[in-house]
Structure 1
Amino acid sequence: MYTLSLVKLLAFCYSLGATGHLIELKASTDLPHGASQPVDHAFASFSWPVHFFADYAGNKSCPNHFSQDIINLLHEKTGAYPHIRVGGTSADRAILNTSQSSSIVLSAESDNGIPLEVSLGPVFFEGFENFPSTPWTFQVNLANNKSNALENALAEARAAISHIRGNLYAFEIGNEPDLYPGDVRPLDYTVADYVKEWRSFADAISTEVLHGNRYGLNDWTLFQALTFVFNLNGFSTAQAFKDGIDMDGHVKSVSWHQYASGNQAWVRLQESFMNHTAVTGNLSQYIEDMTLIHSYNPNITFLLGETNSDYVNLNMSQIEGVFGSSLWLIDYLLYGMSVNITRFNLIQGTTFGYAGWTPVEHNGLAPQVRAPLYGQLVAAEAIGRHPIVQVKALDLERDDLSAYAIYESGVLARYLVVNLDGWNSTTKYARPSQKFALDVSHRVKSAEIKRLVGPGASADTGITWGGFSWNYTDGRLGRTGKDDTEVLKVLKGAVRLEVDSSEAVIVELQQE
């Protein structure tokens, strides 16, 4: 009896402490100093590994309508089609076999779930045509150390462009070359060696594939460079530019790969992901690189061309594909916008724990929408369809809370608030909440509130955004639920609301 009373007392004190303090969020009515540049409406995009491309895209005779519907849903919310990068380690192991009848053949042997050998047939490339409005980045194989490596890369580029046509955003050459030394290249392989190879491949693709193309594509400056993942072996943005990566003017964009963690023993959902300080640390490291690139060539953009929660992508069920990871993703995407990273290509995979959806039947389970997609939907609505959107991160000096002010044509249009405090229904205390007062202009008379809610940080079902859930239904993306948007009045120049632990809200300000 004493123990039960103590538990109740502790739960009451925790709840009182969490709800008792009012946090005031003050954002300038007009665009403040330090706000982001205009956000690319396709900011939250995708990266599909070559060995899973056929799952996500299908082919001409069997398109994946489920994936098509998800891409179209994001387009409806932002007015932009997500960019899709097709590449990865499996692309750097891919060989084109023009006589192969099947789309793709994978070796049984794998490394962390990635096949050691990949053979592509012509049917593989039909998948691009199932997304006629999608901008694509396609990676050719650079890791190949055989004598016909360049010929294979040129053949891949030709096959890709014949189906992508005018929707080609860029070619990539190789994947994570900072991991080449001691693997597919000698141990003493340097950045200068990589740059020399990269430039020779770019020259050849420009001259033999892009030159004179009938799709209106730039035949020279159409390459996404670097794709580094770690600062290993002396590989860095600064060294690549010093060694002449853009000496010939081929570089359109620079991509880094970023994962919040691996599978280290210390990785936890709350501390490693649902933690705003961790998010800012992971992304602010690229500010120096962006400044350096701009000093070389202000027309080159910087993006995270392959990114998600962890680079292991298997056996991380405690952090992958759960509701807390969707809240992490919102904070991750919004903070990335605020520091002017151009775009995130969120890597997906049929077997990857952090995937936003499973595109085909797997392990006896039907295709499905998974928790992380909800984070992307919230980020898409935060951007919206207005042509000029900018973001300002609001510093709450808290690990467990994050907030952003979002501007349309320089005027405060909405707030986004994420309560990253991890709560689960299995705990013995009531779900806490945090009270907020959001400062608004005198022109604002009311606010519409949409909430991303779930049963708890570790749940992977029962999630709704604005009252709706999405899932696979008869081969398509289906929606269930009922709109539960709240309307709050402005009181004394502020909108007052509570945000539960493990919840996110968008507060849309209604101008008079």
Structure 2
Amino acid sequence: MSIPFLQHIWIWTWIANLTLASTSTYTIPPTSPTTAATLDPAPIGLSYEFFTFPSYRTNVTATPQCEKNLAAAYAGTYPPIRIGGTTQDRADYDPNLSAYVTYSVASDKDAPKTLKYGPRFFDLAGGYEGRVVLGLNRGHNDVGNTVEAAKKAKGVMGNLVGVEMGNEPEYFKSDGQAIAKGTWNAATDAASQANWQMQVGKAIGNLIQASNSLQSPPQWGAEQLLNAQNSTALGYIKTFSHHNYPGGSIQSLMSHANVVKNVNSFKSDVAAARKAGKEYVFGETNSATGGGAASVSPSFGAALWVASISLRATSSSISRLYFHHGTIGACQYCWFGRYSMGAPYYGAIFAASAFGGGKSIVAIDSGNSAYAAYVIFGADGNPARVALVNSEYFTSGTRGSHVFVLEGLKGESVHVKRLTAQSATSRVDEGSSPTWGGQKFEDGTCKVVGTEVKETVKVEGVRASVSVGSSEAVVVYL
């Protein structure tokens, strides 16, 4: 049976539109534009829950190798770490304690309600090869004990770059913290922080990482704190920090449009901090609160989220992101510890490899589709790498793909390294590990295994077409 002429035209129009929908074109700037954000030498860091920090360093074999892998991706700079979380406000410093930390719990998967730590805690943290932010107690309202701890930390830790006073103070009241007796809200907390900044800052200098709240700004954020500061208190602040746990399903978490919307909600807060001459960081972040969601946080989709939010945040002038690692054995989002290797670690390595040695970054996609594109520029101002993410949700069946057409290229070809897994729901603990350039990270040791694979894509004129499957990401080496 013949197809009517108009129907024939409709079919070819539909096919043409389908083809257009699976392709997008991006022009690579020849040099770093003025709109590009400056890159930290190691934008992706790790946050360790306060009471678990000694155990991560001394009992989890994978910890030093996983950090070393990130350092290699960063061209030699170790990832920054932050030591803190809920238990920093349950911890009191004991200068006579010989152990790193002491506490009692009913189960090894519980977090302690009270704990003590001694000088060896600082010695252990001071031995780390990278920069360290230390979270100290404000909840107990004992500023003398906190000042003593801060002074000791600064004295022995040559890598100390920041000190927090309190973790997520908006929950001090519900947690029964002594400092929150009476009226406790964003305004009273801001006044409290300013007072503590002056007392702790006087003892250790301008090392304060301020705010450290989880609730969305503008309340409990940099803008509100800045309005409560006098020049003395502000002078002791080095960095403003906010916490960020988007949550949701795997599909909603990894959605590029959702990542952009999430990061954009901090735009005003970041601008306020930058205007005051301070850096802005996600001092604690991960896929979902409370150690993660069992059905979401260990997945490959969460790995793509780690990669995506790292790229979007840095391109939005958020200097660093500290991905939280909680109670060992009860931590769904951890990169190592609960599972020998967690899939989200692959997203961190992907983004670190895109950043490695770069000096600036700019987003070149629209921000409202499933497709993300970022250009990283080197010290010479020239484009060095392009990071591409296809956040279309794929679980089974025929895997779709999207073609990123890159224009403004030089040379005859580019190399591509691919982050992939069987699906967005793949999990290492269920026998389905991702690969990064054909390689995996060995369970228990975090050592790289397998042979690296880099694909070659021909440059035709000044254009290269890079195909990225649904729920995949690639780094293009220019």
Report TM bin, short chain.
0.7 to 0.9
Change (3 A) 1:490 1:159: same
1:189 has 2:170 as partner = no
Normalising by structure 1, we get a TM-score of: 0.81
CA shift, 1:224, in A, is: 0.8
Where does structure 1 lack aligned partners over 5 or more consecutive residues? 1-14, 211-219, 262-266
> Any conservation in 2 of the 1:323–1:456 contact (CA below 8 Å)?
yes
Matches within 5 A, 1:252-401: 252-261=238-247, 267-271=248-252, 273-295=253-275, 297-298=276-277, 300-314=278-292, 316-349=293-326, 350=328, 351-358=330-337, 368-386=340-358, 388-395=359-366, 397-398=368-369, 400-401=370-371
Change (3 A) 1:463 1:97: same
Where does structure 2 lack aligned partners over 5 or more consecutive residues? 1-14
Give the AA of the match of 2:43: F
The separation in 1 between residues aligned to 2:427 and 2:16, in whole angstroms, is: 28
The separation in 1 between residues aligned to 2:119 and 2:236, in whole angstroms, is: 27
Give the AA of the match of 1:434: H
The separation in 1 between residues aligned to 2:17 and 2:450, in whole angstroms, is: 33
CA shift, 1:109, in A, is: 6.5
> Any conservation in 2 of the 1:106–1:115 contact (CA below 8 Å)?
yes
> Any conservation in 2 of the 1:191–1:243 contact (CA below 8 Å)?
no
CA shift, 1:417, in A, is: 1.3
> Any conservation in 1 of the 2:44–2:322 contact (CA below 8 Å)?
yes
State the partner residue of 2:134.
Answer: 138
CA shift, 1:221, in A, is: 1.4
The separation in 1 between residues aligned to 2:241 and 2:27, in whole angstroms, is: 32
1:73 has 2:51 as partner = no
> Any conservation in 2 of the 1:42–1:83 contact (CA below 8 Å)?
yes
1:104 has 2:101 as partner = yes
The separation in 1 between residues aligned to 2:219 and 2:271, in whole angstroms, is: 19
CA shift, 1:232, in A, is: 8.4
CA shift, 1:102, in A, is: 3.4
Give the AA of the match of 1:173: M
> Any conservation in 1 of the 2:84–2:167 contact (CA below 8 Å)?
yes
The separation in 2 between residues aligned to 1:274 and 1:310, in whole angstroms, is: 12
State the partner residue of 1:215.
Answer: none
User: Percent of aligned pairs with the same residue?
Assistant: 25
Change (3 A) 1:234 1:325: closer
Match of 1:161 among 149, 154, 157: 154
3-state SS of 2:135 partner: strand
State the partner residue of 1:433.
Answer: 401
3-state SS of 2:78 partner: coil
Runs of 4+ in 1 over 6 A off after TM superposition: 15-20
> Any conservation in 2 of the 1:19–1:432 contact (CA below 8 Å)?
no
Match of 1:493 among 455, 462, 468: 462
Change (3 A) 1:251 1:34: same
User: Could you say what the CA RMSD is over the residues aligned between the two structures, in angstroms?
Assistant: 2.7
Match of 1:124 among 115, 121, 125: 121
State the partner residue of 2:39.
Answer: 39
Change (3 A) 1:49 1:32: same
3-state SS of 1:344 partner: strand
Paired residues in the alignment total: 451
Change (3 A) 1:493 1:236: closer
State the partner residue of 2:200.
Answer: 205
> Any conservation in 2 of the 1:46–1:348 contact (CA below 8 Å)?
yes
State the partner residue of 1:115.
Answer: 112
Give the AA of the match of 1:449: V
CA shift, 1:325, in A, is: 0.5
1:250 has 2:250 as partner = no
3-state SS of 2:346 partner: helix
Give the AA of the match of 2:420: V
State the partner residue of 2:172.
Answer: 180
Change (3 A) 1:31 1:234: same
The separation in 2 between residues aligned to 1:18 and 1:39, in whole angstroms, is: 37
3-state SS of 1:374 partner: helix
The separation in 1 between residues aligned to 2:473 and 2:407, in whole angstroms, is: 18
> Any conservation in 2 of the 1:20–1:435 contact (CA below 8 Å)?
no
3-state SS of 1:139 partner: strand
CA shift, 1:16, in A, is: 12
CA shift, 1:245, in A, is: 6.0
Normalising by structure 2, we get a TM-score of: 0.87
Match of 1:150 among 118, 143, 165: 143
> Any conservation in 2 of the 1:18–1:432 contact (CA below 8 Å)?
no
